[in-house]
Amino acid sequence: MENAEGHGVELFDAVNAAIGSRLAESRHLLLVSHLRPDGDAVGSLLGLGLALQESGRSVQMVLADGTPSAFGHLVGADRISAAIRPGFDVFIALDCAESMDAGNAAAQLGPPNINVDHHASNPGFGTLNLVDSSQVSTSAVIARHMSSWGLSASAPVAAALLTGIISETLGFRTANVTAATMRQVADLMDQGADLPSLYLRAEVGIAVHRRIRSAHGK
Amino acid sequence: MENDVSAAIKAQLEAGQSFLVASHVRPDGDAVGSLLGIGLALRDAGKHVQMVLADGVSSSFRHLEGADLIKTAFEPEFDTFVTVDCADYKRTGKLLAGLRQPDVNIDHHVTNERFAHLNLVEGQEVATAAILTNYLPAWGYPITRPIAAALLTGIITDTLGFRTANVTPEAMRQVATLMESGVDMPELYMRGLVRRSFAAARYWGRGLGNLERRDGIVYGTLTLEDRKGAAYSGSDDADLINVISAIDGFKVAMIFVEQTHQHVKISWRALEPGIDVSTVALRFGGGGHAAAAGADVEGALDQVTRAVIKATKEMLRL
C-alpha cells in the first residue's frame, strides 16, 4: 500500500471496508503492540481494545513488556496482560513499525490479520494493512478511521487515544502536527478526554519522573 | 454586555486614524503576540500605528513578522490608545506612566482593573491573543499569515504548549483555524517556548542551584549578580518558573527575580488544583490567574522574599 501523506480518508476506503467486515464477524480478538511500550503503544492498544469491548466483543490486550506505570491512570490499563492466551479469531498488531516487534510470543503467531500503524516504514506485514503516515500517531489513525469500522469513542477510549497523540507529538510540538491534528484533539476532548490532566500524566519532556511517581500515588 | 463593548470597540477602532498600542513590561509571548496581532491588523487597514513595549521584544519573539516595528519609545501624537494583555495600567511600565486614560483595554486576566474607557476582559480565554482571534474578524480585520503567527505565539506561550487547565476544545479549534492561514505552528512552538539561549540556560543553572523548599512551596531566586554572571540580557526569569513547576511534591512553585532600584519580580504557579495564587499576588499589587500569577514588589530581595513566602504560606493554610 502506498503511503498516505496528504491523502484523504477515501484512499483507505477499500482497506477500511475490509477491516470493518473482519471486525464485524469477530468475537474474540487479540490486540498487541510493541516492546518497550510508549504512550502511543498503550494509547492505541487501549483505544481500540476498549472500543471493541464496549461493542460487546471479548478482547485480549497484550504488551509483552507489560504496561508502564506512567499509564496506570488510563481506564483499562489493568486489563492489559503480558501473556497471550489461546482462543482468538482476529489478531491485530498496533504501532509495530519495522516488523512484528511485539515480542516472541506474538511473532510465533504468524502475520496478524490486521496491521494498523502510522510509520511510513511499516512494510505491511499483515493480511489487512492500514498504514496512514499522514497521522501523528497510531492512536490518531484509530481516531480517524474507527467510525468507519462502526466503533465509537467513549470517554475512556478518547482519553487513551489522546494520550497516544500527546506523547507521540511531545505535546503537539513535532513538525507533523497539522490543523487537522488539532481538530482531532478538540473532537477527542468533546468525547470526554480531559486534555490538561492527560497531558500532565503523559510522558512529555522534563516532567516524566514526576508523572511516573504520581501514577504510583506517591 | 460584551456585545455592546465589542460594538463600541469596533466603532472606536474604525474612527481612529493614529494609534498607540502598548502591552506590558517584561513582555511574554502573549504580550508580543497580541500587540502584533492588533497592531498589524490596524496597519493593514491603513491606520498609523505605534506599537510600544517599554522593555522591547525579547530574542524568543524577534522572528515574528512585524517585531521590528515594535519600539521602546513613542511620539505623543495619537488619537486612540489601546492596551493589550495588561491587567492594570502600571503593567505598561514607566515609559507610559502619566499618559491619558487608554481608550481600549483588551485582556484575559480575571484580575483586570478595567482602567480604560472600553474594557474587553474575558477571563475564560487562554490568552489575550485568543480574544483577538475571536474578535478581529468580527471587527472587520482579516487575520493574515503574520497576524496568525503572532496570535498563535500568544496562545502557545500562555498555555505552555496547550497544557494549562483552561485549554478547551474551542481553544484547540481556534488554533487549527490559525494554522490553516499557513503558519508553521510547530516552528512557532519551538521558537517561542522551547529554544533558549546559552546565557538563559546558564542563568537557569544559577536559579536551580539555590532552590529552597518550605511548607509545600518550592522556590528559586535569581539575583542581579546571577544575571550578570550568566550574561543574560533580559530582566525576567528566562521562564525558569516552568522548570521549577515540574518539581514533584509541592503545592506552589515560585521564583524571585531581583530587579534594579530595589525591586523584586515574583511569579507564582499553583501545582495542585484548587489553589488560587492570584489572591496572594493581588495582596502585593500584582495579579494574574488562579494557576499563574505575578507581582513586582519594592524592597530588598531578602526582605521581600521573607514577606512574600510568609504571605504565600498563609494563603495555603486557608
Please state which of the ranges A183-197, B58-72, B234-248 shows the lowest mean pLDDT: B234-248
Residue B107 φ/ψ, nearest 5 degrees: -160, 160
CB contacts, 8 Å: A214 with chain B: 248
Sign of CA dihedral B105, B107, B112, B118: positive
Question: Which of B308, B317, B291 shows the shortest CA–CA distance to B215?
Answer: B317
Q: Rounded to a whole number, what is the distance in Å from the CA of A183 to chain B's nearest CA?
A: 5
What integer pLDDT is reported at residue A203 of this predicted model?
A: 58
Across residues B209-219, what is the average pLDDT? 95
pLDDT digits (tens, 9 = 90+) for A22-44: 999 999 999 999 999 999 999 99
Its pTM stands at 0.86
Question: Mapping DSSP to helix (H, G, I), strand (E, B) and coil, where does residue B116 land?
Answer: coil
From-to residues of CATH 3.10.310.30 in chain B: 198-317
Across residues B194-201, what is the average pLDDT? 92
Q: Rounded to a whole number, what is the distance in Å from the CA of B267 to chain A's nearest CA?
A: 20
Across residues B276-305, what is the average pLDDT? 93
Which amino acid, A122? N
Across residues B61-90, what is the average pLDDT? 97
Asked if B173's CB is within 8 angstroms of A182's CB, the reply is: yes
Q: Would you list which residues of chain B are within 8 Å, Cβ to Cβ, of chain A?
A: 161-170, 172-173, 175-177, 179-180, 185-187, 189-190, 193-194, 243, 246-248
Question: Mapping DSSP to helix (H, G, I), strand (E, B) and coil, where does residue B67 land?
Answer: helix
CATH 3.90.1640.10 assigned to B2-193: yes
From-to residues of CATH 3.90.1640.10 in chain B: 2-193
Residue B37 cell numbers, joined: 496581532
pLDDT over 60 at A2, yes or no? no
User: CB within 8 A of A16, min separation 6: which ones?
Assistant: A9, A130, A145, A148, A149
| Closest Cβ opposite residue A173 in set B166, B175, B194 | B194
Strand ranges inside chain B, DSSP E: 18-22, 48-52, 70-71, 80-84, 104-107, 118-121, 212-214, 217-222, 252-259, 263-270, 287-288, 292-298
Whether A189 and chain B come into contact, CB under 8 Å, resolves to yes
Match domain B198-317 to its CATH number in 1.20.120.80, 3.10.310.30, 3.30.1380.10, 3.40.640.10. Answer: 3.10.310.30
H helices present in B181-230, as ranges: 185-189, 198-209, 224-230
pLDDT over 70 at A204, yes or no? no
Whether A207 and chain B come into contact, CB under 8 Å, resolves to yes
Asked if A172's CB is within 8 angstroms of B189's CB, the reply is: yes
The one-character DSSP state at A123 is: -
The one-character DSSP state at B108 is: -
CB contacts, 8 Å: A186 with chain B: 169-170, 172-173, 176
Question: Which of B188, B20, B23, B178 shows the shortest CA–CA distance to B109?
Answer: B23
pLDDT over 80 at A215, yes or no? no
Q: Starting from the edge strand earliest in sequence, which strands make up the sheet with A128-131, in order?
A: A80-81, A58-62, A28-32, A90-94, A114-117, A128-131
Residue B6 cell numbers, joined: 465589542
The alpha carbon of residue A207 and the mean position of all alpha carbons in its chain are separated, in whole angstroms, by 23
What integer pLDDT is reported at residue A6 of this predicted model?
A: 47
d(CA B73, CA B51): 9
Pick the more confident residue, B142 or B195.
B142
Best of A183, A188, A200, A214 to disrupt the B interface by mutation (most B CBs within 10 Å)? A183
pLDDT over 50 at B150, yes or no? yes
pLDDT over 70 at B318, yes or no? no
CB contacts, 8 Å: B189 with chain A: 172-173
CB contacts, 8 Å: B130 with chain A: none
Whether A199 and chain B come into contact, CB under 8 Å, resolves to yes
Confidence of residue A5 (pLDDT cuts 50, 70, 90): very low
Across residues A194-208, what is the average pLDDT? 71
pLDDT digits (tens, 9 = 90+) for B7-30: 999 999 999 999 999 999 989 999
| Closest Cβ opposite residue A213 in set B161, B193, B248 | B248
pLDDT digits (tens, 9 = 90+) for A112-123: 999 999 999 999
> For chain B, what is the total number of helices (H) and then of strands (E)?
11, 12
Asked if B186's CB is within 8 angstroms of A173's CB, the reply is: yes
pLDDT over 90 at B221, yes or no? yes
Asked if B168's CB is within 8 angstroms of A189's CB, the reply is: yes
In degrees to the nearest 10, what's the CA dihedral of B180, B183, B185, B186? Answer: 130
CB contacts, 8 Å: A187 with chain B: 169
What integer pLDDT is reported at residue B2 of this predicted model?
A: 65
Which amino acid, A211? R
d(CA B293, CA B100): 27
The one-character DSSP state at B194 is: I
Whether A212 and chain B come into contact, CB under 8 Å, resolves to no
Size of interface A-B (CB pairs under 8 A): 70
d(CA A51, CA A43): 12
Are the C-beta atoms of residues B64 and B146 closer than 8 Å to each other?
A: yes
The alpha carbon of residue A113 and the mean position of all alpha carbons in its chain are separated, in whole angstroms, by 16
Residues 121-150 of A with CB under 8 A from B: none
pLDDT over 50 at A202, yes or no? yes
Residue B274 cell numbers, joined: 484548587
Confidence of residue B290 (pLDDT cuts 50, 70, 90): confident
pLDDT over 50 at A212, yes or no? no
